[in-house]
Amino acid sequence: MTTNQVQTTNIRFAGLGGTGVIKASDIFADVVFRQGHTVKKAEVHGMSQRGGSVQSDVRFGSEVHSPMIPDGACDFLVVMEPTQIEVVRGGLRTSGTLIVPADIDTTKLPSAKSLNVAMLGRLSRHFDFPESAWRESLRANFPEKLHTANDTAFDLGRTP
Amino acid sequence: MPQPSQDKNGRLLLSGNEAVALAALHCGVALGTGYPGTPSTEILEGFSALGGKAQWAPNEKVAAEVALGAAFAKARVLCTMKHVGLNVAADVLFTMTYSGVDGGYVLVVADDPGLASSQNEQDSRRYAEAAVAPMFEPADSQDAYDLLQVAFATSERWRIPVIFRMTTRVCHSKSPVKPRFAPDVIPTAAETGAPATDFVRNIAGRVMVPGHAKPAHRRLRAKMAEMELWNISQGPNLVEKRSESLGIITAGICYHHIREAAPDASVLKLGMTYPLPLATIRAFAATVDRCVIIEENDPWLATALRAADLRIEAKDDATFRFGELSVDRVKRILNKDTSPEPVPPRGKPPELCKGCPHTTSFEVMKELNCIVSGDIGCYTLAALPPLSAMDMMIDMGASVGMGLGLRHVLPRDQAKRVISVIGDSTFLHSGLPGLVEMAYNPPETGHVLMILDNGTTAMTGQQEHPGTGRHLDGSGTHKVNFEEMAHAAGVKNVFTINPIRERAMLKAVLADSLQKDELTVIIARSPCILAAGRIAAWDKELKAKQAADEPAESGSCECGGTCQH
Ligand SMILES: Cc1ncc(C[n+]2csc(CCOP(=O)(O)OP(=O)(O)O)c2C)c(N)n1
Ligand code: SF4
């Protein structure tokens, strides 16, 4: 008996602690989950100190098994911090998509902290989820005073 | 805590820890207690955020004992800790299985295969067998939610504390959960089935003198025999029959790696791993040509099954005993591939935050050429470059004893350089008996103990502790006083210094203390910069309240807020 290969989409967020990696992956997982997919998300958040390497994996599809993305199986790799690109690049499939800060015109960011939201905007181009779903999740995950800045940052990444 | 994601079918996207917290609420847990420790910390924080009564104890042993008292009173209790915490709580564990309980007692222990943030890679499953406690092992968040209910039912039916063993990946991974109650509902006692609390005297059952403990041990073994039969006939174990050539026996997160690595294999997934359902396992093994055990860390299942004379295959422990397993590693185990594994590129290690008060304290120790007996917390990062200013770190509280031991035997010129350094939360956790030892058996050269009081348990994400004057949920309570404790233990020289604002003074006092053949405690007090805003706001609120309660207080000190008065 052979079980059909399950189609799973794998997205890894990477960067340094304090750069919004976990937050971005939480928002992404939220968007996908609300669209009715089965989602799993794995991260190791050990020490609360800033500055160490951080990775967070999100996998979704009709069925997802392991929460961790197998070696070299990332369909998307979103790296928030340029120094980490070479560290994590090996995780990407040959056909996979790499998204890095250079893809964003960072001079137009409302604040340096909003880079993760702009990167989500950039990632959103690759999925046909309604734009409103992204905006709702952003609102649900940030305090109100950041909503306007986040909308600007998201647009910056989303608009080609 | 932001609201968890919810889909149209009422499923929530929860981490394993959040799922346990929600299940605890839905089981009518009357009290959650524990001590922070990655990856277990968010369970009690989540339970509290959901409206449950949750509190931090000074250490895991006390937490397990508070939980035991509550369970003697028929309450349902949840006690949480990381793997090494169970070493601290082991003493009570080994005898509370004898006494048993009247309510439901679930002790969550979170192992950390791969040492994402721990000092060792111990396998706590061995405690279940050694202390004779039933054990459950969830594989994901839904499993954690469901199994916690089974764990409480088991605990109540057999009147015994139950171990709920999780691992980092189960604790911190998110996956969908379909809960019994809507997420915003706090079910009533009638809905949860939680019993009313009551004290019923049972001296022979709860006073574990030898005369009572001997029959208790026999009762315990008899309960285990019954539970094994129950586990065989009704236990939360899953058989997926897909192949006659390959069958895999597993528990916990490995189940999901296996389903991805070997979708065609038959699988027996155990939800209750102690006492093992041997007949179930034997029957499963008999249906396949090749039966492989997949487990992380120790060959615990494999050893038990080999002892039961089962013909099974297990991982190559020279390779796969270390670190967590993954889809790729499970494939290697099944292919008997022990060729060198790809080494992931080294990421950047974490460092102390810019402006962290610990940095200054360790700079000063370095300038004075100290031999530093260290402890666990954010400040352990001072052992790494660029500071490289800590010489040893083993377990919580050990800084005090190790420093004293060094002082007792080193030649005088070296002994005079030794200092013990410990964080505030760690001091209250297990440094206190060390302080008493210091006063009781002082080395000839004296000793210096520095308590790094940053007003929080920073390492695990800024939890409160008895020295912060705040409960788990941030509400106010009594604040224990380090200075008074040092004096009461019998230490003559006690100083409170702000390492950032009074750096020169810290250096002068430390130099002088190292010079003297006396006992000194230096409290280096300055808030963790991540918690400073919150601490300052609370202090302001407290001062305003005190001013309203008793105006015109005179004689306040001039420390600028560094002391506790
Ligand atoms: C027995 C045990 N329980 C829990 C932990 C997890 N842990 C390590 S250090 C620590 C406390 C750190 O707090 P503190 O001493 O105040 O130092 P800080 O991180 O604030 O600098 C905790 C909870 C552990 N390593 N061992
Ligand atoms: S979290 Fe606090 S204690 Fe830890 S390194 Fe940062 S400032 Fe220091």
pLDDT in tens, B146-199: 999 999 999 999 999 999 999 999 999 999 999 999 888 889 999 999 999 999
Residue B34 near residue B81, CB atoms below 8 Å? yes
Atom 2 of ligand 2, residue of closest alpha carbon: B528
Q: What is the ipTM of this complex?
A: 0.94
Task: Find the CB nearest A66 among B257, B264, B344.
Answer: B257
Q: Rounded to the nearest whole angstrom, what is the distance from the C-alpha of residue B448 to the centroid of ligand 2? A: 23
pLDDT reported for residue B3: 76
Per-residue buried b or exposed e for B138-165, using 16+ beta carbons within 10 Å of the residue's own CB: bbbbbbbbbbbbbbbebbbebbbbbbbb
Of the CA atoms within 13 Å of residue B437, those in its CB half-sphere come to: 18
In B, minimum Cα distance to A140 occurs at: B2
Structure tokens at B197: 């609390």
Structure tokens at B290: 């090749």
Q: Rounded to the nearest whole angstrom, what is the distance from the C-alpha of residue B454 to the centroid of ligand 1? A: 12
Average pLDDT, chain B: 95
Strand order in the sheet with A92-99: A92-99, A74-79, A8-16, A53-61, A38-43, B174-177, B12-15
pLDDT reported for residue A37: 94
Q: Which atom of ligand 1 lies closest to the CA of B528?
A: 20
Architecture of domain B357-549: 3-Layer(aba) Sandwich (3.40)
DSSP B159-227: T--EEEEEEHHHHH-EEEE--SS-TT----HHHHTPPPP-----HHHH---HHHHHHHHHHHHHHHHHH
With a CB cutoff of 8 Å and minimum separation 6, the contacts of B437 are B400, B401, B404
Tell me if A134 is assigned to some domain. Answer: yes
Average pLDDT, chain A: 91
Q: What is the mean pLDDT of residues B329-337?
A: 98
Q: Rounded to the nearest whole angstrom, what is the distance from the C-alpha of residue B82 to the centroid of ligand 2? A: 21
Q: What is the mean pLDDT of residues A31-38?
A: 94
* Longest CA pairwise span in chain B (Å): 84
Dihedral of CA B385/B388/B394/B397: which sign? negative
Query: Are the beta carbons of B2 and A140 separated by less than 8 Å?
Result: yes
Dihedral of CA B294/B298/B299/B304: which sign? negative
> Kind of pairing, strands A74-79 and A92-99?
parallel
With a CB cutoff of 8 Å and minimum separation 6, the contacts of B26 are B149, B179, B180, B181, B187, B192
Q: How many domains does chain A have?
A: 1
Q: What is the mean pLDDT of residues B489-514?
A: 98
Dihedral of CA B177/B181/B186/B189: which sign? negative
Q: Which atom of ligand 1 lies closest to the CA of B380?
A: 21
Q: What is the pLDDT of residues B429-464, one digit of tens each?
A: 999 999 999 999 999 999 999 999 999 999 999 999
Is B10's Cβ below 8 Å from some Cβ in A? Answer: no
Tell me if A2 is assigned to some domain. Answer: no
Tell me if A3 is assigned to some domain. Answer: no
Q: CATH number for the B238-334 domain, one of 1.10.10.10, 3.40.50.920, 3.10.580.10, 3.40.50.300?
A: 3.40.50.920
Residue B557 has pLDDT above 50, yes or no: no
Of the CA atoms within 13 Å of residue A52, those in its CB half-sphere come to: 18
> Kind of pairing, strands A53-61 and A74-79?
unpaired
pLDDT reported for residue A45: 65
Strand order in the sheet with B266-270: B238-240, B266-270, B246-251, B290-294
Atom 9 of ligand 1, residue of closest alpha carbon: B377
Query: Are the beta carbons of B263 and A43 separated by less than 8 Å?
Result: no
Which among A98, A90, A95, A122 is positioned nearest to A108, based on CA atoms? A122
Residue A121 has pLDDT above 70, yes or no: yes
Atom 6 of ligand 2, residue of closest alpha carbon: B353
Q: Same topology for domains B12-234 and B357-549, yes or no?
A: yes
Residue with tokens 């060729």: B339
User: Which of B425, B427, B428, B465 has most ligand 1 atoms within 8 Å of CB, for mutation?
Assistant: B425
- Residue B437: strand, helix, or coil: helix
pLDDT reported for residue B266: 98
User: Which of B376, B394, B460, B464 has most ligand 1 atoms within 8 Å of CB, for mutation?
Assistant: B376
Residue B15 has pLDDT above 60, yes or no: yes
pLDDT reported for residue A2: 40
Query: Are the beta carbons of B8 and A36 separated by less than 8 Å?
Result: yes
Q: What is the mean pLDDT of residues B29-42?
A: 97
Rounded distance between C-alpha atoms, residue B37 and residue B395, angstroms: 13
Q: What is the pLDDT of residues B276-285, one digit of tens each?
A: 999 999 999 9
Task: Please list every residue in chain A whose beta carbon sits closer than 8 Å to the beta carbon of residue B116.
Answer: 44, 46
Query: What's the DSSP call for residue B471?
Result: -
What band does A49 get if pLDDT is binned at 50, 70 and 90? low
Structure tokens at B346: 């080294």
Rounded distance between C-alpha atoms, residue B467 and residue B478, angstroms: 8
The letter for the amino acid at B381 is L
pLDDT reported for residue B547: 87
Task: Find the CB nearest B326 among A5, A41, A68.
Answer: A68
Plot region of B561 (φ>0 → left; ψ -120 to 50 → alpha; else → beta):
left
Q: What is the pLDDT of residues B388-400, one digit of tens each?
A: 999 999 999 999 9
CATH code of the domain covering residue A60: 3.40.920.10
pLDDT reported for residue A46: 56
Q: Which residue has the higher pLDDT, B243 or A50?
A: B243
Q: CATH number for the B12-234 domain, one of 3.40.50.970, 3.30.70.2740, 3.20.20.100, 3.30.1360.170?
A: 3.40.50.970
Q: What is the mean pLDDT of residues B208-213?
A: 98
What band does B541 get if pLDDT is binned at 50, 70 and 90? confident
Tell me if A105 is assigned to some domain. Answer: yes
What band does A3 get if pLDDT is binned at 50, 70 and 90? very low
Residue B558 has pLDDT above 60, yes or no: no
pLDDT reported for residue B555: 46
The domain limits of chain B are 12-234, 238-334, 357-549
Residue A118's domain comprises 8-158
- Residue B67: strand, helix, or coil: helix
Q: Determine the distance in angstroms separating the CA of B344 from the nearest CA of chain A, rounded to an integer.
A: 8
